[in-house]
Amino acid sequence: MGFTREELLSFTGAEVPDLVGPNMRLLLAGINPGLHSAAVGAHFARRGNRFWPALAAAGVLPYVVDAHDGMKPEDERLLVERGIGISNIGRRATARADQLTATELRAGADQLRGKVRGWAPDVVAILGLTAYRTAFNAPRAVQGEQPDRLEGARLWVLPSPSGLNAHETLASLATAYAEPARAAGLLEPLE
């Protein structure tokens, strides 16, 4: 699905519904939807985003989901059956995550806390260290598992899969994303 720049900009402020199901073991929370994601109604839909390839490379998913034109029902089913949910800290779509204000990020963190209370996943992984630091008022947070839980769930803060996060590679993202998946029981433990 190809969009003109003007068409994509018309999705500024739109939301992408959370992808959740019963028995959630792992909740992956991005910073906020991009314009292409809002246009097709699917998380991490832009082709340059490394989210889906990283999950496949980590072994969390058996193949790379292609959400470029929207999520296929069989891909949604795969995620739900595996106990994987997807949400965002910020609700509104923007061209770049840095277009969200600190106030929006903090409000989004409060909303995410409420969702985690209701959904009760075992593990939450937030994909974006800088956004996490602002949203959760944790300026010294480092990547990896956090010492505190989020509403009872073990909490990881991991790199954003955005292509704008140039110092991360597909391999480094896959390694990072495997950690919370392992903690949620989606991958075999390391020996």
Q: What are the residue ranges spanned by the domains of the chain?
A: 5-183
Could you tell me which of 88, 40, 90 has the C-alpha nearest to residue 65? 40
Phi-psi region of 70 (alpha: psi -120 to 50; beta: other; left: phi over 0): left
pLDDT (0 to 100) of residue 55: 98
Instruction: Point out the residues of the chain with pLDDT beneath 70.
Output: 1, 163-166, 191
pLDDT (0 to 100) of residue 1: 61
Q: Return the CATH number of 5-183, one of 3.40.50.1580, 3.40.470.10, 2.40.50.100, 3.40.50.300.
A: 3.40.470.10
Rounded-to-integer distance, Cα 132 and Cα 16, Å:
19
pLDDT (0 to 100) of residue 163: 65
b/e map of 56-65 (b: 16 or more CB within 10 Å)? bbbebbeeeb
pLDDT (0 to 100) of residue 166: 66
Rounded-to-integer distance, Cα 166 and Cα 14, Å:
26
